[in-house]
């Protein structure tokens, strides 16, 4: 077996960066994975050019783990999928901050997810993680993106949306602005975020999407035990995810995969018509990033189609 640190080898750094965490994998010239590590958020919406700190820190960790020599960056080609990369200005600033690499290709995290799920063939995905987005590869890199507007006005059905909805509902109940009585969900949210107004405001101060998304498993757990307030939230999340999928293909004929950390936990609460459409992804987004790094996928071209 050849040493991965030999000068003749190409290396491929593959990145799947979201609002909660970032997976970084390193592959050798033959496509053999040398290692994978998980770091903090690298969403361009959240981190901007500082996403490089997360990526390079993870890459350095992997390089040390497999004993690469000091000049490995000069022979490393990167395929990077990042949440927020569809924002042209954020993407430009990220590229300008890039270190010296042999090659660099950047796309949205949705693109690498779709590449991996369908191995580059036409197909659709809905990502259900901290945020949410629907994405469809049509042909030759032509892609459609729906949703993905971010936490401020969008991300419906996502972990951040579920957590924010639960917190908003809880403060209304505690304020006595709701006719509903406090349920197990509301008590659990108050326990986690603050039983007093001062404590709740402290929790909310500067809260980012990932912080709200950390509450999503709690909401899903309460829903699984039959809490009506929690059930209403996750059922609505399922409808929002279905709406993203339908916007990609109203006829529901193209292959569709659901990807992201909440895919499995939310499965029992998805509409039956969505569950019957979904198929398992072929590979995960890291493989899509590898395809990007190796030049086996066309450049991403996003088309926003108005009705």
> Quick check: helix, strand or coil at residue 8?
coil
Note the pLDDT tens digit of each residue in 184-230.
999 999 999 988 898 889 999 888 888 999 999 999 999 999 999 99
Looking at the predicted structure, is the pLDDT value of residue 131 above 80?
yes
Enumerate domains of the chain plus CATH numbers: 11-119+282-300 (3.30.420.40), 121-279 (3.30.420.40)
* Predicted local distance difference test score (pLDDT) of residue 5: 44
Mean pLDDT in residue range 21-26: 92
* Predicted local distance difference test score (pLDDT) of residue 178: 64
pLDDT grade for 150, boundaries at 50, 70 and 90: confident
* Predicted local distance difference test score (pLDDT) of residue 252: 93
Note the pLDDT tens digit of each residue in 34-88.
999 998 888 888 888 898 899 989 888 888 888 887 788 788 888 999 988 888 8
- Taking the C-alpha atoms of residue 191 and residue 186, their distance in angstroms, rounded to an integer, is 9
The residues with which 125 forms a beta bridge, in sequence order, are: 135, 257
Q: Widest CA span of the chain, in angstroms?
A: 69
pTM for this predicted structure = 0.86
Residue 267: CB atoms within 10 Å: 14
Residue 207: CB atoms within 10 Å: 17
* Predicted local distance difference test score (pLDDT) of residue 141: 61
- Taking the C-alpha atoms of residue 268 and residue 171, their distance in angstroms, rounded to an integer, is 27
Average model confidence (pLDDT) across the chain: 88
């Amino acid at each position: 077996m050849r040493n991965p640190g030999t000068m003749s080898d190409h290396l491929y750094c593959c990145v799947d960066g979201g609002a909660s965490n970032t997976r970084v994998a390193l592959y050798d010239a033959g496509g053999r994975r040398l290692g994978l590590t998980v770091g903090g958020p690298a969403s361009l919406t959240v981190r901007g050019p500082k996403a490089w700190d997360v990526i390079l820190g993870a890459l350095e960790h992997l390089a040390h783990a497999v004993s690469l020599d000091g000049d490995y960056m000069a022979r490393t080609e990167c395929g990077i999928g990042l949440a927020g990369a569809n924002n042209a200005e954020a993407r430009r600033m990220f590229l300008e901050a890039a270190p010296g690499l042999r090659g660099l290709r950047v796309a949205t995290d949705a693109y690498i997810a779709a590449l991996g799920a369908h191995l580059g063939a036409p197909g659709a995905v809905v990502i259900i993680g901290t945020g949410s987005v629907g994405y469809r590869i049509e042909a030759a890199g032509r892609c459609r993106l729906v949703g993905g507007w971010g936490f401020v006005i969008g991300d419906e059905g996502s972990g951040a949306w579920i957590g924010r909805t639960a917190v908003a509902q809880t403060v209304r109940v505690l304020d006595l602005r709701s006719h509903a009585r406090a349920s197990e969900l509301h008590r659990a949210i108050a326990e986690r975020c603050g039983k007093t107004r001062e404590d709740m405001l402290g929790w909310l101060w500067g809260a980012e999407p990932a912080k709200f998304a950390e509450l999503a498993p709690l909401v899903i757990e309460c829903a699984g035990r039959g809490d009506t307030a929690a059930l209403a939230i996750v059922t609505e999340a399922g409808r929002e995810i279905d709406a993203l999928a339908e916007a990609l293909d109203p006829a529901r004929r193209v292959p569709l995969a659901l990807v992201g950390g909440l895919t499995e936990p939310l499965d029992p609460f998805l509409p039956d018509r969505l569950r019957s459409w979904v198929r398992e992804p072929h590979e995960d987004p890291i493989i899509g990033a590898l395809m990007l790094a190796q030049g086996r996928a066309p450049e991403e071209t996003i088309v926003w189609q108005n009705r």
